[in-house]
Chain A
Amino acid sequence: MEKDLDFFQFCEGLIDGKLEKRIIKLILENKSSDEIVETLVKEHREVDKNAKL
């Protein structure tokens, strides 16, 4: 499934949490599981890195 904005907005309105919303966004962008984990880990590392600075 490629990104469906309407459906994403629908989900976003019902789900709390940045991480959860990001997961759904990546799924709707039709990313594979490995890609999703890779992306999220990378983003998490960035957040960690910035927080330490």
Chain B
Amino acid sequence: MLNYDYELIRSEYDKEYSNNHLMPKKKYSPSFSKKLNNLSLIRGRNSKGKSTLLHIIALGLYGLRNDNIHKSLTDKMKALINSSHQKLVFDFSIESEQNNLKVISKKKDFDSDEIIVYEVDKKGTEIPLCFESFRNKYQLIYDIPNNPIGRLYGLLSELQENQRSLGNKLMQLNFSIKNIIQDVKNSKDPKIINEIEDKINVLSEQIKKDCIDYVKTKKLLSLFEGYTYLKYFFEYKEKKDQAEIELEKLKKATKSNIDQKKKNWKEEEQDYKKGHEYINLMIGNINDLIYSIKKNLKNEKKHLFQINILEKLDIKKTMLDEDRNESIISIIGYYKELFENDKANLSSSNKCQEADLYKHLIEILNEYISLDIVLPGVEKSIADFVKILKDEWNKYEGLGVKRENIENVLESIEHIKAGREYFINNKFAEKMKEFIKKSSNSESQKLTEQELNIMDMKMIKNKIENYNQKIDLYRNKLIKVNEDVKTDDFSNIKNSLRQLVKDPIIREYLDWEEDQLIQKVDNLLEEVDEKNKEIESKKIRLNNYKRDHTSLNSKEEHRYINNYAFLDELFNSTQKLSSLILNDFELYIGMMRNKNKQFSNHMYSDYVNQVSKYLANKVGTINYDVSILEINSIDLVTGEIKTKDNRIIHLSDLGVGHGQAAYLRGILNSSDNRKIIALIDETAMMDKDTMDSIINKMRELYNEGKLLLGLIVRQDEYEKVESLI
């Protein structure tokens, strides 16, 4: 039974006019019975409130939030409550004796949008119905079956909604299964515990072996480090010592070179000075000679020409110029010959011989002058006779001086000649010129790089530096390996090295080079490090297993512990299904709406077939050509309806009334087990048979207890409410 009442206040003038003329607002209330059977047909003319009643019932049952209600109807519902020209209150209850329940909806205040919906159960308890609760329990169908053929496609929306709902539930189920699987994994599983125990045992054994291996490798490393570092620490120490000796030698050699250079310089300087002295001496001698020659020659002008040349000569330059050596010699040679001739002429004269006789006699008698004898013949003592001889010799004194002067000149000539020869033989000119040259060039006094051993010393110093670096390197490495090592105690180091060389492993590597040994040590270091890391990693894993083992033992067994594989299968199946429905089916239904005929896609073709059958089941039958035909399939892509008697009816050939009926049966059949509240307007286009088929369908639903309320509105010339029960 539907009990209802409403009051609609509507201003039918424009607002300004209404306000100015105080025009009353019109009140509308039901013009039909306020009690209707659960399945009723309301007939009447326009503006009698048939549709208003349907709007109010839909509005009161969350019709504005129902996506399946056509926009034209929701607009009219909104106008009832949101328009400024009209205000509404209503109250209705739908009671089902069959189902023992009552649904009540109320809007009490004209100025409030609040609508209260609740149901009353068998015990009279009022249970509020929010939108979601209402939608879960009831299906509100409110439709005007205009353009029924076109709206058969609307049935696809319901299918799509079902698909999405199913897909989402599959996702939820999939998520729940995932959680259960996780719970099972985290529960006490004897099988997993056994597996973990096995892993713990295997891992423990591996760690043990790895540790032994690690210790072995570490020992080997220690052996090679000791040998390599000691060997090269010692070797570089020896090399350094040797290099330092070499350096010392070079330093000494350099010092010796410097001393030698100084000594040479000094000698050269002395030679220069000596040469200079000689030159000065020569100048003096030559001047004396010139003077003596001139004195002896007096006015013999013909012999003075050579003297004039000698006077003008720069003796020093001539002495240093080896090419002009002969100038002096040839001039004095000239005078030597001249004076030797003079001397020979003088010596051969009688007077000169007489003078010589007297002279020799005087010299002999002077030796015996003390003897007291009388010389026979002259009868004179020796002293008296010497006196007589001297008187006689004195008569030849001038001659003796002349000859002495000549001899002095010749002697001076010889002296100059000898000096000149000495000067030439000792290469004074050459040495003096070299010294003058060197004196004017400061660089010449310095030692060359080679003399100073600069490059060699630099090379050795570099070597020593390099050796020192190596020594420090190996010392540090040795200290790192063994803090107690005494690197200053070389005999101890030598002994240690000697011991290591005897080791059978090391003996295989005695001819290895430094780089090779260092590489070997590096490889061993890397190996040790890797083994250590591996052991640590395994220890962490072992601890994790032990922790898991303890944790799993402390848990209780999950009831699905033995169904893990099946749960996994379920997880995969639900995942696959949700993807198929939410992705593939969603795509196909869109393709159908676009009448896509891509039937080469096998899955799409199957999908279209199943949708066609689904729609056929929904609609069931059609009234066509004065007969009722059972439908096999409704293919919305090709627009064909196939009937069970193998007829093919094109949707375009269906009359409006037939279409309406098919559509209405479709939406009525589309219900699940929710209670249906069906409100159908504008059925005037249907003929009696078609209308009857709808009424029969609704009656069938009502009798099955599925229909809570069914109201059909039909325009007619008279007002009448028919109970269809």
Residues of A within 8 A of B (CB): 1-4, 6-7, 9-11, 13-15, 17, 19-20, 23-24, 27-28, 33-34, 36-37, 40-41, 44-45
Contacts and interface: CB of A to CB of B under 8 A. Distances in A.
Contacts of B607: 14
A20 B577 contact: yes
How many interface residues does chain B have, given as a range? 35 or more
Interface string B282-299: 000000000000000000
A13 B610 contact: yes
A45 B175 CA distance: 22
Contacts of A45: 563
Given A9-B614, A14-B606, A41-B563, A1 B577 contact: no
A33 B172 contact: yes
A1 B169 CA distance: 10
B718 interface: no
A45 to B, nearest CB: 7
Contacts of B609: 13
Contact of A23 (B180, B563, B573, B614): B573
A18 B108 CA distance: 54
B580 A15 contact: yes
24 contacts: A1-B165, A2-B673, A4-B162, A6-B617, A7-B162, A9-B617, A10-B614, A11-B166, A14-B585, A14-B607, A19-B573, A20-B573, A20-B577, A23-B573, A23-B574, A27-B170, A33-B172, A33-B176, A33-B177, A34-B176, A37-B180, A40-B566, A40-B570, A41-B563
A2 B166 CA distance: 11
Interface string B570-609: 1001101100100001000000000000000000001101
A6 B566 contact: no
B674 interface: yes
Q: Which of A2, A10, A36, A45 has the most CB of B within 10 A?
A: A10
B138 to A, nearest CB: 13
Contacts of A41: 560, 563, 566-567
- What secondary structure prevails in chain B residues at the interface with A? helix
A7 B567 CA distance: 26
A23 B173 contact: yes
A27 B172 CA distance: 11
B172 to A, nearest CB: 6
B618 A15 contact: no
A44 B166 contact: no
B243 interface: no
Given A23-B577, A37-B177, A6 B614 contact: yes
Interface string B455-489: 00000000000000000000000000000000000
A23 to B, nearest CB: 6
A4 B173 contact: no
A37 B176 contact: yes
A15 B607 CA distance: 10
Contacts of B617: 6, 9
- Top 8 A-B residue pairs of the complex, sorted by shortest distance between their CB atoms: A33-B176, A2-B673, A10-B614, A13-B610, A4-B672, A6-B617, A33-B173, A44-B566
B611 interface: yes
A22 B175 CA distance: 18
A7 B166 CA distance: 10
B173 A28 contact: no
A15 B577 CA distance: 8
B577 A24 contact: yes
B613 interface: yes
Contacts of B691: none
Q: Which of B159, B162, B567, B674 has the most CB of A within 10 A?
A: B162
B186 interface: no
B669 interface: yes
B411 interface: no
A31 to B, nearest CB: 9
Contacts of A34: 176
A7 to B, nearest CB: 5
Given A1-B162, A15-B577, 8 more contacts: A4-B672, A7-B159, A7-B162, A13-B609, A13-B613, A14-B607, A23-B173, A40-B566
Contacts of A3: 672-673
A3 B671 CA distance: 10
B259 interface: no
